């Protein structure tokens, strides 16, 4: 009930993003049902029906990725002190976010089922003069249990992915090593070698850190050795200062950990996977499974390499004595390399695959049918919408920094020009990369 209330009370922009998730789910569900209809209409072509179902994994992954991006930008499921006081902690908000995603995806699956049944003629007769009756198995008994099983793939996969991605995490840093013991069994980190009798000296144990990170002090005269200040031999000794407790890592306003400040470590592995995928395209036969496997390698490599390339783009913006505008743009790209780079890698993979597949199926090969066109439009739209949603998430995470710059006197036009400069720099780097990957993937076909 709470998830429904939060869904209904959201802003129009949030409702639009949820509507995009429902639309993408409807398209993916229709493709899955079309595979079922093809299997019913061609019972002797089990291999072709299985291959069509395997190809549906691409729009399914794109839809789930869009649902995850929309769930991360949902302001209704962000941790707030008021909700925590009412008993809605991070775990409950994660469950609400997963349930909201399930509601959006279920709505899309129901729309796909209604559209499929309408085109089959099960509701009001065959529309469009029965044009779609061939690949929808019109006139044959329709197995509703199998259809419902296929339609539950997107809601279940999206909800589980959102729950795993938004699960509560401990913001405190992990322990750096095993516990070490000092003199006389005292636990804690020993910074220096203690001399004989130092344990019972007055004030020697003040400021020691306990196991939970807090400092403990021992009263004078009860320091554990049975001796007071007169027995120490140094009544005027200076008390050691307590050790400062390490500050926890800073976090984003939504509670997620801040990305590392160094360069992302996936660039070499990404280049390796892209090279392996291009090799598969160059030497493997022109079969659907080989093409799909090669593009999976290329897409995975681009997703892994894109954060490192985004970080490199931020570094290039700041080279050769940068001003305030270039410095601000480059720093934002470096800090948001992982958040922006992964959707950029997916977009590059999809655009490269679209160009290469167009070249692959040109000429004597079969032309694109309506279902193939629907799948291509669905994957392209989901990836572009995911990239725009990631930009919205980045803007939400930098809201405090933007407000601080405005309070310091930075003009709003400067922030807009910095955003345009970041977009131009990313387009300059990733545009030729997309064209190069597409040309290399289509090169064996044009030889």
What is the number of structural domains in the chain?
Answer: 2
pLDDT at 79: 64
> Is residue 33 located within the same domain as residue 153?
yes
> Is residue 384 located within the same domain as residue 271?
yes
Residue 218 included in any domain: no
> Is residue 271 located within the same domain as residue 390?
yes
Angstrom distances, CA of residue 410 to CA of 208, 253, 439:
45, 22, 43
- CA neighbor of 346 nearest in space, from 258, 422, 434: 434
Q: What is the DSSP-derived secondary structure letter of residue 133?
A: G
Mean pLDDT of all residues in 374-399: 90
User: 428 versus 239: which is more confidently predicted?
Assistant: 428
Backbone angles phi and psi of 51, in degrees to 5: -65, -40
Res 177 pLDDT > 60: no
Tens-place pLDDT, residues 146-159: 899 999 999 999 99
Residue 221 included in any domain: no
pLDDT at 150: 93
> Is residue 132 located within the same domain as residue 1?
yes
> Is residue 280 located within the same domain as residue 427?
yes
> Is residue 412 located within the same domain as residue 287?
yes
Mean pLDDT of all residues in 169-178: 59
> Is residue 271 located within the same domain as residue 122?
no
> Is residue 285 located within the same domain as residue 420?
yes
Res 365 pLDDT > 70: no
The structure tokens 């029965």 sit at: 130
Residue 219 included in any domain: no
Q: What percent of the chain has pLDDT over 70?
A: 67
Angstrom distances, CA of residue 191 to CA of 95, 213, 234, 237:
45, 16, 22, 19
Residue 397 included in any domain: yes
> Is residue 7 located within the same domain as residue 151?
yes
User: 231 versus 178: which is more confidently predicted?
Assistant: 178
Which structure tokens are listed for 389? 């949603």
Residue 174 included in any domain: no
> Is residue 430 located within the same domain as residue 293?
yes
Mean pLDDT of all residues in 182-200: 52
pLDDT band at 117 (very low <50, low <70, confident <90, very high): confident
4 alpha carbon, distance to own chain's centre: 25
Residue 275 included in any domain: yes
> Is residue 158 located within the same domain as residue 274?
no
pLDDT at 7: 63
With vertex at residue 24, the alpha carbon angle to CA 22 and CA 30, rounded to the nearest 5 degrees, is 100
Handedness of CA 93, 342, 152, 106 (dihedral sign): positive
Domain final residue pick, 167, 189, 218: 167
Range of the domain at 86: 1-167
Domain final residue pick, 141, 167, 193: 167
Distance CA 152, CA 104 (A): 12
> Is residue 286 located within the same domain as residue 157?
no
Domain final residue pick, 150, 167, 184: 167
Residue 200 included in any domain: no
pTM: 0.74
Residue 180 included in any domain: no
Tens-place pLDDT, residues 231-285: 444 444 444 444 444 443 344 444 444 444 567 888 899 999 999 999 888 887 7
């Amino acid at each position: 009930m709470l998830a429904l209330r939060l869904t209904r009370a959201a802003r129009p922009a949030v409702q639009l993003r949820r509507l995009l998730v429902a639309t993408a789910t409807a398209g993916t569900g229709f493709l899955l049902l079309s595979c079922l209809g093809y299997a019913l209409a061609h019972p002797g072509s089990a291999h072709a029906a299985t291959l069509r179902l395997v190809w549906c994994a691409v729009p399914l992954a794109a839809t789930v990725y869009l649902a995850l991006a929309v769930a991360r930008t949902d302001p209704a499921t962000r941790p707030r002190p008021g909700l925590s006081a009412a008993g809605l902690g991070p775990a409950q908000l994660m469950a609400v976010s997963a349930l909201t995603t399930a509601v959006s995806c279920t709505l899309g699956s129901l729309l796909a089922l209604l559209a499929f049944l309408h085109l089959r003629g099960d509701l009001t007769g065959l529309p469009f003069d029965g044009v779609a009756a061939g690949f929808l198995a019109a006139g044959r008994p329709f197995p509703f249990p199998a259809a419902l099983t296929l339609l539950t793939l997107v809601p279940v996969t999206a909800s589980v992915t959102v729950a795993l991605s938004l699960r509560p995490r401990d913001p405190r840093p992990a322990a750096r090593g095993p516990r070490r013991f000092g003199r006389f069994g005292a636990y804690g980190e020993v910074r220096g070698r203690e001399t004989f009798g130092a344990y019972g000296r007055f004030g020697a144990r003040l400021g020691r850190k306990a196991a939970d990170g807090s400092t403990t002090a021992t009263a004078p005269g009860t320091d554990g050795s049975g001796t007071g200040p007169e027995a120490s031999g140094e009544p005027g000794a200076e008390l050691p200062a307590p050790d400062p407790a390490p500050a926890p890592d800073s976090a984003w306003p939504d509670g997620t950990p801040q990305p590392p400040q160094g360069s992302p470590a996936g660039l070499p592995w990404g280049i390796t996977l892209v090279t392996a995928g291009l090799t598969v395209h160059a030497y493997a036969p022109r079969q659907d499974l080989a093409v799909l496997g090669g593009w999976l390698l290329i897409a995975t490599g681009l997703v892994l390499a894109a954060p490192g390339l985004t970080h490199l783009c931020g570094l290039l913006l700041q080279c050769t004595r940068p001003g305030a505008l270039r410095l601000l743009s480059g720093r934002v790209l470096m800090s948001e390399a992982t958040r922006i780079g992964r959707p950029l890698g997916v977009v590059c993979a999809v655009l490269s695959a679209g160009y290469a597949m167009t070249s692959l199926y040109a000429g004597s090969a079969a032309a694109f049918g309506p279902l193939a066109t629907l799948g291509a439009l669905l994957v392209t739209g989901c990836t572009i919408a995911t990239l725009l949603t990631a930009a919205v998430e980045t803007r939400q995470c930098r809201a405090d920094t933007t407000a601080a710059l405005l309070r310091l006197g930075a003009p709003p036009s400067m922030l807009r020009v910095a955003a345009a400069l970041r977009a131009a720099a990313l387009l300059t780097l990733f545009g030729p990369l997309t064209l190069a990957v597409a040309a290399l993937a289509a090169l064996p076909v044009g030889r």
